[in-house]
Chain A
Amino acid sequence: MVLDIQEQNNVILPSRSDFERIFDKVFRWMTLALSVGLILVLGSIALTVGFRAIPALQASGLGFLFGSGWNPVNDTYGVFPMIYGTMVSSLIALLIAVPLGVGTAIFLSEDFLPLAVRTPITFLVELIAAIPSVVYGLWGIFVIIPITNQLGGFLHRNFGWFPLFSTPPSGPSMLPAGIVLSIMILPIITAVARDSFASLPADLRQASLGLGATRWETIFRVLLPAAFSGVVGGIMLGMGRAMGETMAATMIIGNANRLNISLLAPANTIASLLANQFAEASGLQVAALMYAGFALFVLTLIVNVIAEMIVSRVGAKYR
């Protein structure tokens, strides 16, 4: 059967309507605009916080970062004790979390357990990160602080000459805060370290075992050096988290704005300073808090950018 011209035209698909063409363009442009918007969000965080910090920057300049008095009553602000507290609490957290996290990562990636056991354990480690930080804070007050009071009392009685244990335990202090932070950064260190071990080619293991190395000799002499950059990236991501973690630190560290070298004395971090004072702050104090927040933002940004650069390169070596 032969179609006449009219019918043939009906069979040919109609070209796209103007509306469809415009909608298609608009949709593409919108995804592009929002993608640029995401970069702008990151930039505007820096700009907004930096802009609001200007009054404090004018009032105290760089001395702000090294001054050690925080006194809203007579408007003098120095954030050094909090920078110190941020660094020391993160360091305690890393000292505990790195061996635990890397050990767990090795155990979960190197075929020690059957997969049916490993999968739920991996899931449980991920769950540690899902518990809200305020819950860790609440738990820390009732569980960790009594334990560190006992431990701190022992350390102070026997090693009181050592500056880090030079004060009697005060309840909320640096030590329990560092311990709770370590729990909170364990999942990210474990996950990134596990991924970097898992991305190593099986050839490495087989070659090492074939040469007569034991399993742990393989881990220490072959796998750990090969996965080193990834593990370091994970540790840095964990450090970034510990530095910025707010609630658990605020509830447990004691919020003392004076520098004290003892780990058993109350201290403060930048994040917990912000959490404590922002809601009631006014005038120059807001600017000073913004300045402190800006310092924290820059610190964590540096740590995170380096960490992301390391982590994104993991595995590329062997691909």
Chain B
Amino acid sequence: MDTNTLNKSKSNPRYLFGTAMTALAGLFVVITLLPLFTVLFYVISQGFGRLNLDLFTKLPPAPGLTGGGIANAIQGTIITVGIGAAIAIPFGVMVAIYISEFSDGNKLGQSVRFASDVLSGVPSIIAGIFAYGILVATTGTFSAIAGGVALSVLMLPTIVRTTLEALKIVPQDVRWASVGIGASNYQTVLKVVVPAALPAILTGVTLAVARASGETAPLIFTALNSPFWFTGVWEPTPTLSVLVYNFALVPFIPLKELAWAGALILVLMVLTTNILARLATRQKVY
């Protein structure tokens, strides 16, 4: 037998094929990441010029005028996202507690988990028409509440999933120890398990809230928009993301610049929360 066949030959077609495929896969990784970097580059280079105090303190200018800011949209985003978070966080955490602590892997627990996963695939615009159907159509007005409800539907599955993952990290021994010294269900869950999982839960919740702050589709026809300051939760409310959408398509340069500045704020927010969350989850409690 020719022992030479056991040697690696660089002109061997099998070797060449492997090298070519490795290069191709590497190229795919580069192409995949290219849009991310160009998006960041464009948003920073176009939006940075308008990043001044006026941006955070003034109302948008009328079409044709210059100056102004997007303070009302920032305020409105905080309010609508706050309403959404106030609904979705307790809801989602309680659901996760049921699945992880009380369901014992029964049919209902599995179904809830599955429903949550399916809900996370529901298009955000459908959450918008849902909120329109139950709130805008019945109250007859676009409102921050309707926007908040739409956002809560989107936050819910993310909060359930991340809380579940956080609760899974807590070792079973901790639960047994708690029950063993006579703690009841709620004491075990609320005073032992949840506090132990709290850092991971907070991280997940923060990411869900940050993600929701950038959502536009569910807000266009629930919170709508307004060129003025916030006047009440039952009134149309401006948000950053809807402002970016509206101003991106108008023919006035100052408004376009504000759209880029708004996009920059949104991107900086999701970037910092994602990076901080990544750093925070590095240190595990157990």
Task: Give A residues with C-beta under 8 Å from B.
Answer: 13, 16, 20-21, 23-24, 27-28, 30-32, 34-39, 41-42, 44-45, 48-49, 51-52, 99-101, 103-104, 106-108, 112, 121, 123-128, 130-139, 141-143, 183, 186, 190, 214-217, 219, 237, 240-241, 243-247, 250-251, 271, 274-275, 278-279, 286, 289-290, 293, 296-297, 300-301, 303-305, 307-308, 312
Q: Are A251 and B245 in contact (CB under 8 A)?
A: yes
Determine which residue in A190, A217, A293 has the highest number of CB atoms from chain B within 10 A of its CB, and name it: A293
Complex partner residue of A125 from B21, B33, B117, B270, CB under 8 angstroms = B33
How many pairs of residues, A versus B, come closer than 8 Å at their CB atoms? 261
List 8 A–B pairs whose Cβ atoms lie within 8 Å, in order of A's numbering: A31-B94, A34-B94, A52-B129, A103-B25, A130-B274, A135-B214, A296-B126, A308-B114
- Give the distance in Å from the alpha carbon of A49 to the alpha carbon of B126 in the complex: 8
Determine which residue in A135, A237, A278 has the highest number of CB atoms from chain B within 10 A of its CB, and name it: A135
* B contact residues around A49 at 8 Å (CB): 126, 129-130, 133
- Give the distance in Å from the alpha carbon of A91 to the alpha carbon of B158 in the complex: 27
Q: For chain B residues 152-202, which have a beta carbon within 8 Å of chain A?
A: 153, 156, 160, 182, 184-187, 189-190
Q: Are B115 and A39 in contact (CB under 8 A)?
A: yes
Q: Are A107 and B28 in contact (CB under 8 A)?
A: yes
Number of interface residues of B (CB under 8 A): 89
Main secondary structure of the interface of A (DSSP, over half): helix
- Give the distance in Å from the alpha carbon of A125 to the alpha carbon of B33 in the complex: 7
User: B51 in the interface, Cβ–Cβ < 8 Å?
Assistant: no
* B contact residues around A52 at 8 Å (CB): 129, 133, 137
User: B276 in the interface, Cβ–Cβ < 8 Å?
Assistant: no
**A223 → B minimal CB distance (Å):** 13
Q: Are A100 and B31 in contact (CB under 8 A)?
A: yes
Q: Are B134 and A48 in contact (CB under 8 A)?
A: yes
Q: Are B14 and A38 in contact (CB under 8 A)?
A: no
- Give the distance in Å from the alpha carbon of A127 to the alpha carbon of B274 in the complex: 8
Q: Are A134 and B130 in contact (CB under 8 A)?
A: no
Q: Are A134 and B38 in contact (CB under 8 A)?
A: no
- Give the distance in Å from the alpha carbon of A45 to the alpha carbon of B43 in the complex: 35
**B89 → A minimal CB distance (Å):** 12
* B contact residues around A237 at 8 Å (CB): 121
* A contact residues around B266 at 8 Å (CB): 132, 134-135
Question: Which of B57-65, B66-74, B95-103 contacts the other chain?
Answer: B95-103
* A contact residues around B21 at 8 Å (CB): 216, 219
Q: A24-B186, A41-B156, A49-B129 are in contact. Are A141 and B112 (CB under 8 A)?
A: no
User: B203 in the interface, Cβ–Cβ < 8 Å?
Assistant: no
User: B15 in the interface, Cβ–Cβ < 8 Å?
Assistant: yes
* A contact residues around B285 at 8 Å (CB): none
Q: Are B244 and A138 in contact (CB under 8 A)?
A: yes
Q: Are A138 and B182 in contact (CB under 8 A)?
A: no
- Give the distance in Å from the alpha carbon of A106 to the alpha carbon of B36 in the complex: 20
